[in-house]
Amino acid sequence: MATFMYVSLQQEDRIAQYTLDPATGALDHHADYSLAGMPAPMALDPQKRFLFVGRRLASEYGLTGFSIDPANGHLAQLNSVPLGGDPVHLSVDRGGNYLLSAYYYQARVGVHAFDASGTLAPSPIEWRETGVGAHYIQTDPENHYAFVPHIAEGNHTGENAIFQFRFDQRSGRLSPNNPDRVLPTSPEGPRHFCFHPNLHVLYSSNEQGCSVTAYHFDPVGGTLEPFQTVPTLPADFGGHNTCSQIQITPSGRFLYAPNRGHNSIAGFAVDPSDGSLAPLGQTATEPIPRAFSIDTTGAFLYATGLDSGNLAAYHINQNTGSLEPLDVYPVGQGPMWVSIVDL
């Protein structure tokens, strides 16, 4: 088995590929792939055949697919399709047939089909209006529902909600669930989320609230109900900050959410019985940690600095969840996404 990392570099119009040493967490720069149009969000399909990338340059809004060579992780460009908006997040449904996308400024979500060779359909199956601030879309583990967080602020007032959809995995169509959204009790601004690997719990990073909210997920009805919100910042911090992404280790024991402004990664221990969170504190990292990822074994965490162009590597202490610094790698200007795959 070989482990590879892909980093999209928006300001350099390229995707960098690294080989990841699963024993030490060390990275070795392996290859670069040019992609014009400010590449940013990326998504891997569950079968690890394809990597999809969203292009955010206004004149070149679009989606591009790559095939992944299972022998060495090399990418070969497939096709590109145009978009009527700026994609801020991509995911592939759990069945590996549809590419889902979210559009903050255009206030909508999209769904594109792709075939067995990874070729994207030229037109979306769905191009559905939701609300300003749509920042993420993903289906649940059973592939029956999809959720779309909307932040609370921005160039226009955001919806401050997580929209709830039914997802038809045969057709790729979305339909509003009942209720069609869950609302935070304050302007937290849900941005990204992740599911617990073993429990019916979803965790949202809150951009404006600088917090993480845990939700009970009803797998039958496809609805969410919040039961805990925990700050990502130390109590004495008074500067400007927003939260970005969120990930949980494959074991479900530890969860992490970066702070942009405080420039740290907040860690949490996860109660294995009910999914509740206990803060572990913050670990200093590169300035403006927008993108990060945990490797597939849960041993290492990698965080990029949007301002520094560096990627910081950490070992995750399996007993305490603390992040132990390993090395810092210069990756390039405008790192926007980190994806890790075992082949």
Confidence of residue 185 (pLDDT cuts 50, 70, 90): confident
Q: What is the dihedral of CA 319, 321, 326, 327, to 10 degrees?
A: 160
Residue 156 has pLDDT above 70, yes or no: no
Share of the chain above pLDDT 90, in %: 98
Q: What is the pLDDT of residues 71-123, one digit of tens each?
A: 999 999 999 999 999 999 999 999 999 999 999 999 999 999 999 999 999 99
Look up tokens 């889902």; give the residue. 100
Q: What is the pLDDT of residue 147?
A: 99
Q: What is the pLDDT of residue 154?
A: 64
Q: Where are the domains of the chain?
A: 3-243
Q: Is 59 helix (H, G, I), strand (E, B) or coil?
A: helix
> What's the whole-number average pLDDT of the chain?
97
Q: Which pTM value belongs to this model?
A: 0.97
CATH top class, domain 3-243: mainly beta
Category of 107 on φ-ψ map: left (φ > 0), alpha (ψ -120 to 50) or beta: left
Task: Give the 3-state DSSP-derived string for 80-137, with helices as H, strands as E and coil as C.
Answer: EEECCCCCCEEEECCCCCEEEEEECCCCEEEEEEECCCCCECCCCCEEEECCCCECCC
Q: What is the pLDDT of residues 252-285, one digit of tens each?
A: 999 999 999 999 999 999 999 999 999 999 999 9
**Closest C-alpha to 246, from 198, 301, 296, 199:** 301
Q: Are 41 and 6 in contact (CB under 8 A)?
A: no
Q: What is the pLDDT of residue 67?
A: 98
List C-alpha distances in Å: 30 to 7, 48, 111, 131: 12, 18, 32, 40
Segment 124-139 shows an average pLDDT of: 97
Rounded (5°) CA angle 199-200-206: 105
Confidence of residue 237 (pLDDT cuts 50, 70, 90): very high
Q: What is the pLDDT of residue 153?
A: 82
Residue 140 has pLDDT above 70, yes or no: yes
Residue 330 has pLDDT above 90, yes or no: yes
Q: 334 is written with which tokens? A: 């405008």
Residue 236, burial from CB neighbour count under 10 angstroms (0-12, 13-18, 19+)? exposed
Q: What is the pLDDT of residues 18-62, one digit of tens each?
A: 999 999 999 999 999 999 999 999 999 999 999 999 999 999 999
Residue 185, burial from CB neighbour count under 10 angstroms (0-12, 13-18, 19+)? exposed
Q: What is the pLDDT of residue 296?
A: 96
